[in-house]
């Protein structure tokens, strides 16, 4: 079972490992592109890692409208719980 908190923790680890971001600069309201310098190619890698974590099918389209770390957490949470992701 994945809670939003555990998803956030995993997401943080992924970002630190893949994107060399300092853990303490990551917050829920941090914007991916502007503040964390995560581009579309990074996003693809991030989705691959999230897929490994949750075992759920995920498509880049599921993350089309994400802007902040919170948005990613919500989208993953919704997918894990088989809801349509909230926009």
Partner 1 sequence: MADIRNHGDNNLLGSIGYAWRLLATGFSFMLFGIGGALLSVVLYTVSHLIPMSSDRKLAFIRGTISRTLSIYLLFLRLCGLLSYEIHGRKYIKPGGQLIIANHPSLLDVAFLISLIKQADCVVKASLWRTPLTRGPVSTAKYIRNDSKQLIQDCVQSLHQGNSLVVFPEGTRTQPGEPLKFHRGVANVALMAEKDITPITINCEPATLLKNQKWYQIPRRPPHYTIRILPDIAIGPHLAMAAMQSQKARRLNRDLMDFFTARTTGQND
Q: Which residues bind partner 1 (CB under 8 A)?
A: 18-20, 39, 41-42, 44-46, 48
> Of 23 and 41, which CB lies nearer to partner 1 in the complex structure?
41
| Shorter beta-carbon distance to partner 1: residue 4 or 51 | 51
The dihedral sign for the CA sequence 20, 64, 80, 73: positive
Q: How far is the CB of 1 from partner 1 (least distance, A)?
A: 27
In whole angstroms, the minimum distance from the beta carbon of 3 to partner 1 comes to 26
Cα of first residue to Cα of last residue in the chain, in angstroms, is: 22
Packed helices 40-54 and 4-19: angle between N→C axes, nearest 10 degrees: 130
């Amino acid at each position: 079972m994945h809670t939003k908190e555990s998803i956030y923790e995993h997401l943080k680890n992924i970002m630190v490992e893949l994107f060399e971001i300092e853990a303490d600069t990551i917050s829920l309201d941090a914007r991916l592109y502007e503040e964390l310098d995560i581009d579309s190619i990074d996003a693809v890698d991030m989705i691959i890692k999230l897929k490994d974590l949750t075992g759920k099918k995920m498509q880049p389209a599921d993350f089309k409208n994400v802007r902040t770390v919170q948005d990613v957490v919500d989208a993953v949470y919704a997918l894990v719980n088989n809801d349509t992701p909230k926009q």
